[in-house]
Amino acid sequence: MSQTQDITVTINGETIHATVPVRQNLADFLRNGQGLTGTHVGCEHGVCGACTLLMDDQTVRSCLTLAVQADGASITTIEGLGARPDTKALKAAFTNRNALQCGYCTPGMLASALEYIESGAPADRTAIREHLSGNYCRCTGYQSIVDAVCETIEGRQS
Amino acid sequence: MSGPLTDLDRPNSYIGRAVPRADAARLLEGRGRFVDDLQLPRMLHAAFLRSPYAHARVNGFDLEAARAVPGVHTILTGKDLEGVVEPYVGVLSHLAGLQSAPQMPMAVDVARWQGEPLVMVIAESRAIAEDALGLIEADLDPLDPVTDPEAALEPGAALIHDSLGSNLAWERTVDVGDVDAAFAADGVTTVERSFTFGRHTGVTLETRAAVAAFDPSTDQLTFWYSGQAPHMMQFIFAKHLGLMEEDVRVIAHDVGGSFGIKIHTYGDEVATAAAAKLLGRPIKFVADRLESFQTDIHARDHIVKGRMGLTADGKIAALEFDDITGIGPFSMYPRTSAIEANQVLNLTGAPYEIENYRARSRVVFQNKNLMCQYRAVGHPIAMAICDCLLEDAAREIGMDVAEVRRRNLMADDSYPRQSASGMKLADLSHQQSLEKLLEIMDYNGLRADQAQARKSGVYRGIGLVSMVEVTNPSPAFYGIGGAPIASQDGATVRLDAGGGLRISSSVTEQGQGTNGILAQIAADRFGIPIDRVRVTTGDTDTVPYGGGTWASRGAGIGGEAMLQAAVALRDQVLDVAAVMLQTEPSKLDIRDGAVTDLDGSERMTLSDLARTVYYRGNELPSDMKPELVATRHYRVTDFPFVFTNGAMAAQVEVDVETGMVKVLGFWAVEDCGRVINPMLVDEQVRGGVVQGIGGALYEECLYDEEGQLLNASMADYEVPMAAEMPDIVVAHVETPTRTSELGAKGAGEAGTGGAPAALMNAVNDALSPLGGRIHQMPMTPERILKALGTV
């Protein structure tokens, strides 16, 4: 239970050397080990999507990823999303459309939404709803989130 | 609308505008302050061993191996908390006859539901605590579980509490008019249906969480929690842990969804506070998702037999039903688990002219998790009973479902008046809301589409609901029954030296936008740009005393208190300004953060005024006592509740081969009185509708006969996902409540209360040409195929 391993991981552009329990998941490592509490844990079994972040530019569930699996990888958490080109517009759209209420799903939702937007996919409501179906939101009913993603894509194209 | 509150051309006019919430910025940057984000020095972590059985005698535990795990600090059992925690009982005196048994945070002699806490392990990390849990040997003798509420009332059924002598917690009946004669009258068509409403739960994305810290040197407990009612919890911890109320500080910062789930007294949270007091060290407890499903209160769980009589011209002759609801083994403390049944009796049929109304509800103990108040308490049951019977009866006599409502809805000009159950109603707009709904949904167009689709074997259905929502409760909800729950709320507005406003309120924020609308109201009424307003809520040490946010009361009650406080401070500031400027207060105004003449020309900034008062009082007349802070409180009087109304419609398509229901469209017209922020209200309605869709189509806590919860994971318990949900059209009728100057009623629960009935009606409308009908929620594919007789 106490076995540990040394890892080197780039988190939001900063290189971190750490010794982690091999059983510790990435979410707990980021939250408890690095103080990056913006990554939220909702179900700890990979369904709700709250803990979604970017690992080497791909979305992953940080509750289903062990910290040791991130060795050598580049992690972008909500705290580091601002460095990506579409984030500012997406956050503005979320704010202006109230696409978040309690904010607990928001970090994971932004990561998934950015993945969709950065792929160059169109502002197709059905496709966006499909893409975001791995991220649960219990507050909004999703419509304003879809609106915000569409607005960001349309702004990107104009 | 007219009047000063909606004069959108004034400077600092925020009431009625879609102002984005300031809180969004933090949450979008990952800078929220949720309970699990909190790390305190020397903090320990708690995990709980929970009963694997629905009913079992607790003989004892072998804790030796668990205690030996490195990093384990303390292990406490239910018995260890005897004498530390005073047991609690979930009864209220205004619910006459309601009985429940004393409850402890962890089971002592008998465990009564699967998931009830038994043993608390406190360790240096949650992981270590869970390691130790696995090493505990529990000596439990399984007892016969009582899970079915109807069987629980049978003579000879095993008793969940011997001391109570019965598994019946509470019973209430209502009997108005002459129901039997009305049903027996010539020309009355009667439809009778059996409804089943499954258990579901809130599934807040942030699970329940608490950090308790106790300072033995001052006897002070600080409790950070993810919850809705800090002052209520302050009382509870003081009373049950033997502390003075003023020594208990309860803080709720960001709350990751609540929906009524996080307003109750949970044993694991009480045990966390008790352990912190015993150990003198901070302790954190965060429920995992399994614990959430097993112990967050469940909702609904009703079996209802109902019938409605309709005259040949479509008038409701009589309505009658018999409701039985299972609440788990205890009535939840302190709000009780009888309020839901009480609401069902109070609200069923409330939109309509009904002279003959008879209803009974029985509230029954069972060996399942506790049932208590969740978003739209009782409303989905009440609305479904009446509106589903109404549409079924209309179909029976061949009348259109919109027309049958026109013939029965209370007239918009008939208020104030009472419902059949005796509820005082005022300022409602059922007729106007229905007509607006039919217009925005293009009712006739959808009917034409439905007819066309049927020709090609596509089964679409349209269902409506006309509804009421209980909001802005007076003391009649809880306080009169002895609950430590404030019905009034307070607001404080303070002008600081820099010219900004610091406001605080006893209502709380769980994402609705409470903080945002409080800032809008204060800025609007005081006369300051909203970006100069800072808001504090959720801290018993710093906010006025009040009830918190529940029962759709934040905007209506908290908002009115804020309005009154802002107006009071404005008057106080103008009194000071008039002396300083040697004029009359009536000749001055406050606009854009400055004292102005009535024509808007600036006389002095608020900062200049405040700095003079705070720093250079020598410049003021010596008999002047300036007050740059004002506090006001507000409660609803004359009405027990401020009802709102709405009309909603669903359009669905049922795949008769698979039983799958697709929601094609949803429309909601809501009359919540004065709309403070149309964007936030619309989003409350949409989010509420989607939770209602969840309850109607997907969500259910499935138990087997042994009381084992079968689907306690996110993978097995289905909630609405983005791909399944429709876009939802929201419109408003605004009939301000006469009970306040602000005129705002609540809006947060309407969607959840109304959507299920509209969906059930839509599904039955789709199934009607095939002769199938369904009156069980959730309406799963299997149940729909059974209704069609194909499985």
Q: Over the stretch B80-137, which tens digit does the pLDDT of each residue have? A: 999 999 999 999 999 999 999 999 999 999 999 999 999 999 999 999 999 999 999 9
For residue B602, being part of any structural domain is answered with: yes
The mean per-residue pLDDT over the stretch A41-65 comes to 97
Quick check: B259 and A138 CB within 8 A?
yes
Which range of residues forms the domain containing residue B87? 40-143+207-255+261-295
Residues A62 and A95 in one domain: no
Identify all chain A residues contacting B289, using CB atoms and an 8 Å cutoff: 42-45
pLDDT in tens, B634-663: 999 989 999 999 999 999 999 999 999 999
Do B375 and B750 touch, CB atoms closer than 8 A? no
Quick check: A136 and B204 CB within 8 A?
no
Residue in A11, A29, A102, A135 to test binding to B, most B beta-carbons within 10 Å: A102
pLDDT in tens, B30-41: 999 999 999 999
Domain boundary among the residues B586, B612, B634 is at B634
Number of Cβ pairs < 8 A linking chain A and chain B: 172
Quick check: B714 and A136 CB within 8 A?
yes
Chain B nearest C-alpha distance from A91 (Å): 7
Residues B759 and B732 in one domain: yes
C-alpha dihedral sign at B484, B485, B486, B491: positive
pLDDT in tens, A95-142: 999 999 999 999 999 999 999 999 999 999 999 999 999 999 999 999
Q: Is residue A85 pLDDT above 70, yes or no?
A: yes
Chain B nearest C-alpha distance from A8 (Å): 23
Chain B nearest C-alpha distance from A56 (Å): 20
Q: How confident is the model at residue A158 (pLDDT cuts 50, 70, 90)?
A: confident
Residues A77 and A13 in one domain: yes
Chain B nearest C-alpha distance from A4 (Å): 14
CA distance B784 to B774: 7
CA distance B111 to B106: 9
Residues B417 and B345 in one domain: yes
Residues B537 and B630 in one domain: yes
Domain boundary among the residues A47, A81, A115 is at A81
Q: Is residue B447 pLDDT above 60, yes or no?
A: yes
Which residue does chain A place closest to B26, by CA atoms? A103
The mean per-residue pLDDT over the stretch B436-457 comes to 98
Cis peptide before B778 (omega within 30 of 0): yes
Quick check: B722 and A107 CB within 8 A?
no
Residues A54 and A8 in one domain: yes
Q: Is residue B1 pLDDT above 50, yes or no?
A: no
Q: Is residue B468 pLDDT above 90, yes or no?
A: yes
Residues B615 and B667 in one domain: no
Chain A nearest C-alpha distance from B687 (Å): 4
User: What's the domain count of chain B?
Assistant: 3
Q: How confident is the model at residue B7 (pLDDT cuts 50, 70, 90)?
A: low
Domain boundary among the residues A81, A109, A127 is at A81
Quick check: B683 and A144 CB within 8 A?
yes
Residues B444 and B550 in one domain: no
Quick check: B683 and A21 CB within 8 A?
no
pLDDT at B74: 98
Q: Is residue B680 pLDDT above 80, yes or no?
A: yes
Q: How confident is the model at residue B367 (pLDDT cuts 50, 70, 90)?
A: very high
Do A66 and A22 touch, CB atoms closer than 8 A? yes
Residues A88 and A77 in one domain: no
pLDDT at B105: 98
Q: Of A103, A130, A141, which has the smallest distance from its Cβ to B27's Cβ?
A: A103
Identify all chain B residues contacting A136, using CB atoms and an 8 Å cutoff: 203, 205, 714, 719, 721
Residues B291 and B324 in one domain: no
Do B783 and B774 touch, CB atoms closer than 8 A? yes
pLDDT in tens, B44-56: 999 999 999 999 9
Residues A76 and A91 in one domain: no
Q: Of B30, B687, B715, which has the smallest distance from its Cβ to A101's Cβ?
A: B687
Find the Cα–Cα–Cα–Cα dihedral B614, B615, B618, B624, rounded to 10°: 0
Residues A37 and A67 in one domain: yes
The mean per-residue pLDDT over the stretch B160-176 comes to 97
Residues B273 and B131 in one domain: yes
pLDDT in tens, B548-595: 999 999 999 999 999 999 999 999 999 999 999 999 999 999 999 999
Give me chain B's average pLDDT, please: 97
Chain B nearest C-alpha distance from A64 (Å): 14
The CATH number given to whatever domain includes residue B121 is 3.90.1170.50
**B527 torsion bin: left (phi>0), alpha (psi -120 to 50), beta (else):** left
pLDDT at B403: 98
Cis peptide before B334 (omega within 30 of 0): yes
Do B226 and B252 touch, CB atoms closer than 8 A? yes
Quick check: A103 and B513 CB within 8 A?
no
Quick check: A104 and B256 CB within 8 A?
yes
The CATH number given to whatever domain includes residue A102 is 1.10.150.120
Q: Of A37, A45, A133, which has the smallest distance from its Cβ to B289's Cβ?
A: A45
Which residue does chain A place closest to B24, by CA atoms? A95
The two three-digit tokens of residue B72, written as one number: 């384990």
C-alpha dihedral sign at B759, B761, B767, B771: positive
Question: For chain B, how many residues are written?
Answer: 791
Residue B672's closest CA among B548, B553, B507?
B553
Residues A72 and A123 in one domain: no
pLDDT in tens, A49-60: 999 999 999 999
Residues A74 and A28 in one domain: yes
Do B282 and B301 touch, CB atoms closer than 8 A? no
For residue B164, being part of any structural domain is answered with: no
Quick check: B722 and A145 CB within 8 A?
yes
Q: Is residue B245 pLDDT above 60, yes or no?
A: yes
For residue B708, being part of any structural domain is answered with: yes
For residue B193, being part of any structural domain is answered with: no
The mean per-residue pLDDT over the stretch B710-730 comes to 97
pLDDT at B10: 81
Residue B271's closest CA among B291, B253, B252, B289?
B291
Find the Cα–Cα–Cα–Cα dihedral B559, B563, B568, B570, rounded to 10°: 130
Q: Of A1, A42, A145, which has the smallest distance from its Cβ to B205's Cβ?
A: A42
Residues A72 and A92 in one domain: no
Identify all chain A residues contacting B207, using CB atoms and an 8 Å cutoff: 42
Strands B72-77 and B117-123: antiparallel
pLDDT at B285: 98
C-alpha to C-alpha distances, B465 to B543, B682, B737, B756, nearest whole angstrom: 39, 18, 22, 9
Q: Of B131, B257, B724, which has the smallest distance from its Cβ to A138's Cβ?
A: B257
Quick check: A138 and B131 CB within 8 A?
no
The mean per-residue pLDDT over the stretch B164-183 comes to 98
Q: Of A40, A95, A126, which has the smallest distance from its Cβ to B24's Cβ?
A: A95
Ranges of beta strands (E only) in B202-262 are 209-215, 220-225, 248-251
Identify all chain A residues contacting B203, using CB atoms and an 8 Å cutoff: 136, 138
Give the SS3 label for residue B459: strand
The two three-digit tokens of residue B12, written as one number: 């600092």
Q: Of A79, A95, A130, which has the smallest distance from its Cβ to B30's Cβ?
A: A79
Q: Of A24, A100, A138, which has the smallest distance from its Cβ to B719's Cβ?
A: A138
Domain boundary among the residues A58, A81, A104 is at A81
Quick check: B679 and A138 CB within 8 A?
no
Q: Is residue B185 pLDDT above 60, yes or no?
A: yes
The mean per-residue pLDDT over the stretch B774-787 comes to 98
For residue B738, being part of any structural domain is answered with: yes
Tell me the sheet residues that pair with B506. none
Domain boundary among the residues B611, B634, B657 is at B634
Residues A107 and A149 in one domain: yes
User: What's the domain count of chain A?
Assistant: 2
Q: Is residue B6 pLDDT above 90, yes or no?
A: no
pLDDT in tens, B298-331: 999 999 999 999 999 999 999 999 999 999 999 9
Which range of residues forms the domain containing residue A54? 4-81
For residue B191, being part of any structural domain is answered with: no
Q: How confident is the model at residue B507 (pLDDT cuts 50, 70, 90)?
A: very high
Q: Of A38, A98, A133, which has the smallest distance from its Cβ to B722's Cβ?
A: A133
C-alpha to C-alpha distances, B622 to A8, A95, B497, B578, B618, nearest whole angstrom: 68, 48, 20, 15, 8
Domain boundary among the residues B246, B270, B295 is at B295
Residues B368 and B454 in one domain: yes
Q: Is residue B3 pLDDT above 60, yes or no?
A: no
pLDDT in tens, B225-234: 999 999 999 9
Residues B134 and B239 in one domain: yes
CA distance B706 to B53: 8
CA distance A81 to A100: 17
Which helix H or strand E contains B353, and what residues bound it? none
Give the SS3 label for residue B38: coil
Q: Is residue B5 pLDDT above 60, yes or no?
A: no
Helices (H), B166-282: 179-184, 230-241, 267-279
Residues B102 and B137 in one domain: yes
Count each helix (H run) and each strand (E run) in chain B, helices first.
19, 29
Residues B669 and B619 in one domain: no
Quick check: A138 and B204 CB within 8 A?
yes
Residues A63 and A110 in one domain: no
The CATH number given to whatever domain includes residue B516 is 3.30.365.10
Residues B237 and B311 in one domain: no
Quick check: B714 and A100 CB within 8 A?
no
Q: Is residue B2 pLDDT above 80, yes or no?
A: no
CA distance B243 to B512: 33
Residues A74 and A90 in one domain: no
pLDDT in tens, B588-637: 999 999 999 999 999 999 999 999 999 999 999 999 999 999 999 999 99
Quick check: B256 and A102 CB within 8 A?
yes
For residue B600, being part of any structural domain is answered with: yes
Chain A nearest C-alpha distance from B676 (Å): 15
DSSP per position, B42-95: T-EEEEEEE-SSSSEEEEEEE-HHHHTSTTEEEEEETGGGBTTB--B----TTS
The CATH number given to whatever domain includes residue A29 is 3.10.20.30
